Amino acid sequence: MGKFDHHFKMNEQDAVEYSKEVLHIFNPSSELECKEIGDGNINYIFRVEEKDTGKSIIIKHADITTRSNNTKVDPIHNCIEAEMLQKEYSLVPEMVPKVYHYDPIMCCIVMEDCRDYKNMRHELCKHKIFPGFAEQIAHFMAITLMGTSDLVVPIKEKRRLQEKFTNIDLDHVTERLVYTEPYLNSEGKNVEFPPNKEFLEKELYEDNSLHLEVAKMYDSFKSDNQCLIHGDLHTGSIMIKPGSIKVLDPEFATYAPGGYDVGNVIANLIFAWANGMATMEKGTEKENYLQWLEESIQRIIDIFRDESLSYLNENTIDLMDKTQGFYQWFVNGIMEDTAGVCGLELNRRTIGLAKVEDITSITDEKQRIYCERICVYSAKEFIMNRHINYKQGADYIHTLKRAAMLAGKSYDGEL
């Protein structure tokens, strides 16, 4: 029996042996080097490189406990991720790393190393601008979401796919971290930034009308199997270089409301915007950066909506779904969910366990207070008014400007 016939938690040396014994991607006589480069909460990421040629691959490996806090997790999410990468690759090949091999025993996804791309969140924290990003990510979402919806996939095939993409443990992480804990703190796991503690408690724990709207969205996350979503589409899941993106890490893939992905993308650009507002010195660099983010947010919403409508216009298969006005109603609902989920993501990444660098990297206390308040004030508007506003990208910018004004006024110290 071989070393890799039974699952165990791999280290760098194991990944080198695995590459030699199982993969046969490199020349058998080559010397291989390996480094674990992951910084996520769940998996281990090994980059294996052939020393002489520089040729490299990524091995994404899952254990039976999470990387960050050793909680038990069913590594089936690794299989779901491999399936999802391949599904996305079949729809938008230029935006997804290619999977070379999947090993369900060792829970290893062997894939293309996109090493000339950079983690988008890290780049945004340096206030870098990426022209064309809005068009790219809006296209990715329109095709992957509409292309997996019931309007386009025959219902029997969709039901078979649903079995494959049943992601019990990671759905539950989302149910707790996004839809429950930020409002109830029932497990006491939130980590409020101390100078904002009272503000956050009042705005998020004590607002019953907010809880009611979150409960409605929670219900639809659990019961509406609308599209096959990426499930964790934040800027840390996007690798970027000028003119091109690669979308990674779909281990949270599941059937859920399509607006979940779009809302996540918008919220994570808002974190970058709030960071820029709070930390950058007045001047042209700040103006250009904020303007690029505002245009990106607007364009993602508008392009996603229009591209989704034209995709459905061309690809809807079911006669009933072709009823005049139906797919417009369908996309309209996704735009409402987008606004709501955008608010949920802003809140949970501000108060919850899984914070974002855009906020935590702010060392100045007043700047961080201001940044967090922009996020929470805008989040609440997005959630509460999701059925009324937010059909146009420009609506998001009006809310952001208002939230920034409120955040500035709400603090009795000097901001």
The residues binding Mg ion (CB under 5 A) are 40, 232, 249
Helix (H) or strand (E) holding 344: helix 326-351
Q: Which does 333 bind (CB under 5 to 8 A by kind): Mg ion, ligand SR1, none?
A: none
177 binds ligand SR1 (CB under 6 A): yes
The Cα 342–Cα 385 span in angstroms is 12
CB of 348 to ligand SR1, least distance (A): 8
CB of 28 to ligand SR1, least distance (A): 37
120 binds ligand SR1 (CB under 6 A): no
φ, ψ of residue 51 in degrees (nearest 5): -60, -45
192 binds ligand SR1 (CB under 6 A): no
With a CB cutoff of 8 Å and minimum separation 6, the contacts of 303 are 134, 135, 138, 139, 142
Cβ distance to ligand SR1 smaller for residue 171 or 337: 171
CB of 176 to ligand SR1, least distance (A): 9
41 binds ligand SR1 (CB under 6 A): yes
CB of 349 to ligand SR1, least distance (A): 8
Q: Which two tokens stand for residue 101?
A: 């091999």
232 binds ligand SR1 (CB under 6 A): yes
Torsion on CA atoms 183, 186, 187, 193, rounded to nearest 10: 40
Binding residues for ligand SR1, rule CB under 6 A, total 7
Helix (H) or strand (E) holding 94: none
354 binds ligand SR1 (CB under 6 A): yes
Cβ distance to Mg ion smaller for residue 40 or 333: 40
**Which candidate, 25, 3, 181, places its Cα nearest to that of 113?**
25
- Rounded to a whole number of angstroms, the distance between the first and last alpha carbons of the chain is 65
Q: Which residue number is nearest to Mg ion in terms of Cβ?
A: 249
The Cα 73–Cα 252 span in angstroms is 12
339 binds ligand SR1 (CB under 6 A): no
Q: Which two tokens stand for residue 76?
A: 């089936």
| Cα–Cα distance list, 153 to 110, 159, 215 (Å) | 28, 10, 29
Q: Which does 177 bind (CB under 5 to 8 A by kind): ligand SR1, Mg ion, none?
A: ligand SR1
CB of 153 to ligand SR1, least distance (A): 26
Q: Which does 354 bind (CB under 5 to 8 A by kind): ligand SR1, Mg ion, none?
A: ligand SR1
Helix (H) or strand (E) holding 247: strand 244-247
Contact of 231 with 239, CB cutoff 8 Å: no
Q: Which does 41 bind (CB under 5 to 8 A by kind): Mg ion, ligand SR1, none?
A: ligand SR1
119 binds ligand SR1 (CB under 6 A): no
CB of 174 to ligand SR1, least distance (A): 6
Exposure letters 261-293 (e unless 16+ CB within 10 A, then b):
bbbbbbbbbbbbbbbbbbbeeeeeeeeebbebb
CB of 71 to ligand SR1, least distance (A): 7
Helix (H) or strand (E) holding 12: helix 12-18
CB of 66 to ligand SR1, least distance (A): 6
The Cα 97–Cα 309 span in angstroms is 27
Q: Which does 358 bind (CB under 5 to 8 A by kind): ligand SR1, Mg ion, none?
A: none
Near ligand SR1 by CB under 6 A: residue from 85, 173, 229, 301: 173
Residues at the interface with ligand SR1 (CB under 6 A): 41-42, 66, 173, 177, 232, 354
